Amino acid sequence: MAADFEYIINKAVNGERLNLEEGVALLSCPDLTLLGQAANIVKNKMHPEKIVTFVIDRNINYTNICQCQCKFCAFYRKKDDSDAYVISEDVLYKKIEETLSVGGTTVMIQGGLHPDLGLNYYLNMLRSIKERYNIHIHSFSPPEIVHMAENSGLPVKEVLKQLKDAGLDSLPGGGAEILVDRVRKKISPNKIGWEQWMEVMKCAHSLGMKSTATMMFGHVETLEERVMHMIRVRDLQDETGGFTAFIPWSYQPKNTELGGETATGVDYLKTLAVSRLILDNVPNIQASWVTQGAKMGQVALVFGANDFGSTMLEENVVRAAGVTNRVPLEEIIRCIKDAGYIPAQRTPLYQIIKYFE
Amino acid sequence: MEEVFRQSELKDIAEKVYNGERLTREDGIKLYQSNDLLAIGRLANYVREKKNGNRAYFIVNRHINHTNICENRCQLCAFGRDADDPKAYVLSLDEIEEKARSCRSEKISEIHIVGGLHPDLKLDYYLEMLRRVRKALPDVIIQSFTAVEVDYLARLHNLRVEDVLKALMDAGLDSLPGGGAEIFAPRVRKIICDKKISGERWLEVHKTAHRLGMRTNATMLYGHVETIEERIDHMLALREAQDETGGFLTFIPLAFHPQNTQLESMNISRTTGFDDLKTYAVSRLMLDNIDHIKAYWVLTGPKLAQVSLSFGVDDLDGTVVEENIAHDAGADTDQYMPKKKLIKMIKAAGRQPVERDTMYNVLGEVF
């Protein structure tokens, strides 16, 4: 048994590509720090400079009204719920100004699939932001793009083109959950299938927009399905090279229809390490302090992660699922330094703009 | 030796560990100064598996805090109160007996009772408490009263520590918990607990208990004003005492929580994940004569506690039930961990869950 793991790990460390079975085997490897060392070696080869990056940004959720109503989600509301909302322009601008005032470079605008908001709503939003502010707009995950395409009767590519012309800079990797339709039918039956998710990303990449890819794990998926998700991301990356980062985070069960328990710390670190080993063509792996807390986020830095994600001045979706990890910028910088790395603020496209030495 | 250590700054230390040699003060400091967390973890894991195999222990226990009124009012503490504080309380003997009775159905194997230094609670109160708890729970191990409380009772009654301990044992006391050790260095104690007994006195109480046949635990509260050197010296003092008596069962590093304590204004940050895991691993490597290293999930959080099972830890404490002391200091963990969840956590880490009693007798290992 031990020899098998060593064989697979040596393969990965020597830069050979791992297949599905090998990824699954590593996820069940009982030697946690061995996996960490392998992921750490691979990470150090890709990022030899001892720097850990992060982005200063804000999540803005323009609406919580959503017709998708996924079973794992605690954020969505129905139109007539008393706490359903659509954000006003004034509030949107105020949030952007607050972001800029603390050195933020980016807003990640995402929302529910609101049945009545047409494509023009999104185009106007983008144009009105770009008219007023110099800020990177990293917004609208594939399910929202498909929703806009369906509501407007336009093809996905045309929607993306219009969004880009109106000011959209890049796409967040949300809505990926697990990119296997068996799982999606169970946890998000009304959401786009995995191929459609990929199609949106492929179109975005072909238009010159970069994106990230996320993975929400630790619910009903098997280990095979988890690795399959990674391999599907790797396949598209071979084609387009458009993914900047992979962001695995664990399902948060509180206040959701799906319920159950969250993945353990060991499961998180193993999944992170295996994603570093499988995704040989994706440059960055993000630690998720939002779902794991600052301590585990820091430990993730020796299990394959080279990026601390975003400072998130505001986060609503995970918070709705009962997790209230708040990590201010100083704390992120302290964690990175304490682990022996140089903290650096980056843009959403991973250009470093400021070191914190 | 594993390949990874051949080029490592920790090569010499690794060699010693694999040869079973004792580490020095300098080795301990060097380990702490290294950022090679995974290498330190692997070394600690080697020792951990040599001592405890693949087992991960837990206990089904319950905490009772009989009073929060405390004369010491240590700067590090968010639990202690003055007698006239509206939140001050003392549990009556009836209330304690009731709490003990109420856990009859939970199949606990240990009851853990600690409290403040209350000037009006005399030895009689403690002896009667033990007798009643013993009667309510005849088969349960009573692990109660830190060295600080024992010393206080001795001084209150002008008795020798040995006599107080003998009286407590006669009334039913089985074991002393490891609290009150903090950091032994006088410099540190002056800042974080200026009225508390000295480190020497703490060790003296435990060694006395050991000589009377009791097994006890030892703790270290870290992550406040102490230096790395002071942490290592703390471990070395325990190692020396253990060489003398062999009475310590477990070493429990405790991460300091500053919220609501008098130290909060010093702007002390919570310990990092690296610091927690390093501290578990370094203590596993330094304390070659103490069998068990425990991660107290209440302070570390369940996720990191689970991860620590690969960093030298072999014990996750227990179900706890009604944790007050850490929660008054802002701990955001639950106050209770169901046995089922503990077992699941241990299994998910690839370890064999073993339910133990205070003395590490195996109560169950088929889960």
Identify residues of A whose CB sits under 8 angstroms from chain B CBs: 30-34, 36-37, 40, 261, 264-269, 292-299, 302, 331, 334-335, 338-340
Give Rg (Cα) of chain A.
Answer: 19
> Contact B272/A298, CB-based, under 8 Å?
yes
Please check whether residue A21 lies inside any domain of the structure. no
Give the best residue of A302, A323, A327, A333 to mutate against chain B (max B CB count within 10 A): A302
Please check whether residue A65 lies inside any domain of the structure. yes
Contacts of A340 (CB under 8 A, 6+ apart): A50, B35
Please check whether residue A130 lies inside any domain of the structure. yes
Chain-centroid distance, C-alpha B236: 16
CA distance B343 to chain A (A): 12
Question: What is the number of other CB atoms lying within 10 angstroms of the CB of residue B267?
Answer: 7
Question: What is the number of other CB atoms lying within 10 angstroms of the CB of residue A220?
Answer: 16
Identify residues of B whose CB sits under 8 angstroms from chain A CBs: 4, 35, 37-39, 41-42, 45, 269, 271-277, 300-307, 309-311, 341, 344-345, 348-350
Chain B CB contacts of A338 below 8 Å? 272, 274-275
Please check whether residue A34 lies inside any domain of the structure. no
> Contact B45/A265, CB-based, under 8 Å?
no
Chain A CB contacts of B43 below 8 Å? none
Chain A CB contacts of B41 below 8 Å? 33, 36
Under DSSP, is residue A156 helix (H, G, I), strand (E, B) or coil?
helix
On the question of pLDDT at A80 being above 80, the answer is yes
Chain A CB contacts of B341 below 8 Å? 261
B276, closest residue in chain A (CA to CA): A295
Chain B CB contacts of A302 below 8 Å? 37-38
Under DSSP, is residue A353 helix (H, G, I), strand (E, B) or coil?
strand
Facing residue for A264 by CB, picked from B37, B300, B306 = B306
Chain B CB contacts of A30 below 8 Å? 350
Residue range(s) defining the domain that contains residue A62 = 40-355
Nearest to B136 by CA among B98, B171, B183, B101: B101
Please check whether residue A19 lies inside any domain of the structure. no
CA distance A261 to chain B (A): 10
Under DSSP, is residue A215 helix (H, G, I), strand (E, B) or coil?
strand
Number of domains in chain A: 1
> Contact B277/A265, CB-based, under 8 Å?
no
Please check whether residue A329 lies inside any domain of the structure. yes
Please check whether residue A240 lies inside any domain of the structure. yes
> Contact A266/B310, CB-based, under 8 Å?
yes
> Contact A299/B273, CB-based, under 8 Å?
yes
Nearest to B59 by CA among B290, B296, B256: B296
A334, closest residue in chain B (CA to CA): B272
Give the best residue of B9, B38, B47, B284 to mutate against chain A (max A CB count within 10 A): B38
Contacts of B19 (CB under 8 A, 6+ apart): none
Answer positive or negative: Cα dihedral of B296, B301, B302, B304. negative
Please report, in tens digits, the pLDDT of each residue of chain B (367 residues total): 566 666 778 999 999 999 999 999 999 999 999 999 999 999 999 999 999 999 999 999 888 999 999 999 999 999 999 999 999 999 999 999 999 998 888 789 999 999 999 999 999 999 999 999 999 999 999 999 999 999 999 999 999 999 999 999 999 999 999 999 999 999 999 999 999 999 999 999 999 999 999 999 999 999 999 999 999 999 999 999 999 999 999 999 999 998 889 998 888 888 999 999 999 999 999 999 999 999 988 888 899 999 999 999 999 988 766 666 777 777 767 767 888 889 999 999 999 999 999 999 999 887 7
ipTM reported for the complex, 2 dp: 0.91
Chain B CB contacts of A296 below 8 Å? 273, 301, 303-304, 307
CATH number, domain at A175? Answer: 3.20.20.70
Facing residue for B4 by CB, picked from A37, A261, A299 = A37
In order, the DSSP letters of B151-177 are HHHHHHHT--HHHHHHHHHHHT--EE-
Residue found by looking up tokens 């950022």 in the block: B35
Q: Give pLDDT tens digits for A9-40.
A: 999 999 999 999 999 999 999 999 999 999 99
> Contact A334/B272, CB-based, under 8 Å?
yes
Residue found by looking up tokens 């203590």 in the block: B283
Query: Which domains, ranges and CATH numbers included, belong to chain B?
Result: 22-357 (3.20.20.70)
B344, closest residue in chain A (CA to CA): A264
Q: Give pLDDT tens digits for A51-65.
A: 999 999 999 999 999
A265, closest residue in chain B (CA to CA): B303
Chain B CB contacts of A32 below 8 Å? 307, 310, 349-350
Nearest to B162 by CA among B113, B217, B218, B210: B210
C-alpha pair distances (Å), B230 with each of A107, A110, B248, B277, B313: 46, 50, 20, 18, 21
CA distance B5 to chain A (A): 12
Facing residue for B275 by CB, picked from A32, A296, A338 = A338
Please check whether residue A111 lies inside any domain of the structure. yes
Contact A155, A145 (CB under 8 A): no
> Contact A299/B304, CB-based, under 8 Å?
yes
Distance CA A275, CA A245 (A): 11
Answer positive or negative: Cα dihedral of A330, A333, A335, A338. negative
> Contact A295/B272, CB-based, under 8 Å?
yes
Under DSSP, is residue A203 helix (H, G, I), strand (E, B) or coil?
helix
Contact B128, B170 (CB under 8 A): no
Q: Give pLDDT tens digits for A323-350.
A: 666 668 888 999 999 999 999 999 999 9
Between A and B, how many residue pairs show a Cβ–Cβ distance under 8 A?
Answer: 87
Q: Give pLDDT tens digits for A196-252.
A: 999 999 999 999 999 999 999 999 999 999 999 999 999 999 999 999 999 999 999
Phi, psi of A194 (to 5 degrees): -65, -35
Chain B CB contacts of A298 below 8 Å? 272-274
Distance CA A97, CA B133 (A): 62
